[in-house]
Amino acid sequence: MVPLRFGDVLVEKPADRKAFMGLVEGLDLRPPVIIKPNWGTSTCFTEAEIIDWVLESVGGEAVVVESYGWARSEEAIRTGRPGSKRRGDLRDGDRWFLEYSGVGDVLKRHGVEFLNVTEENWGHRTADPDDVRKIVEARYPPVSMEEMYGFVPEALYDMRGCNFLSLSKVKRWLPPFDVSFSVKNFFGMLPGPGRLRYHGRKNSRIDRSIADIYKIYDSLFEVKGVVEAVRSASVAESLHSVKIHENPSFASASKQPLELDAFVTALLGLDPHGIGYLKHASTVFGEWSEETIRRGQEAGIDVL
Do the beta carbons of residue 40 and residue 168 sit within 8 Å?
Answer: no
| Total-model pTM | 0.96
| Contact residues for 124 (Cβ-Cβ < 8 A; gap 6+) | none
pLDDT, tens digit, 9 for 90 and up, residues 41-77? 888 999 999 999 999 999 999 999 999 988 888 888 8
Residue of 252, 292, 243, 298 lying closest to 272 (CA atoms): 292
Residue 136: count of CB within 10 angstroms of its CB: 22
Q: How far apart are alpha carbons 210 and 151 in whole angstroms?
A: 14
Q: Using CA atoms, how far apart are residues 259 and 183, in angstroms rounded to an integer?
A: 10
Mean pLDDT (whole number) for 104-119: 97
Domain ranges of the chain: 4-298
Instruction: Provide the CB-side half-sphere exposure for 25 (13 A, CA).
Output: 13
- 194 pLDDT band (50/70/90 cuts)? confident
What's the pLDDT tens digit per position in 220-254?
Answer: 999 999 999 999 999 988 777 889 999 999 999 99
261-300 confidence digits (pLDDT tens):
999 999 999 999 999 999 999 999 999 999 999 999 999 9
216: part of which helix (H) or strand (E)? helix 206-220
Q: What is the mean pLDDT of the chain?
A: 94
pLDDT given for residue 1 in this prediction: 63
Q: What is the percent of the chain where pLDDT is above 70?
A: 99
The one-letter amino acid code at 25 reads E
- For residue 82, say if its preceding peptide bond is cis, omega within 30 degrees of 0: no
Cα→Cα distances 191→62, 131, 153, 188, 220, Å: 20, 19, 10, 7, 17
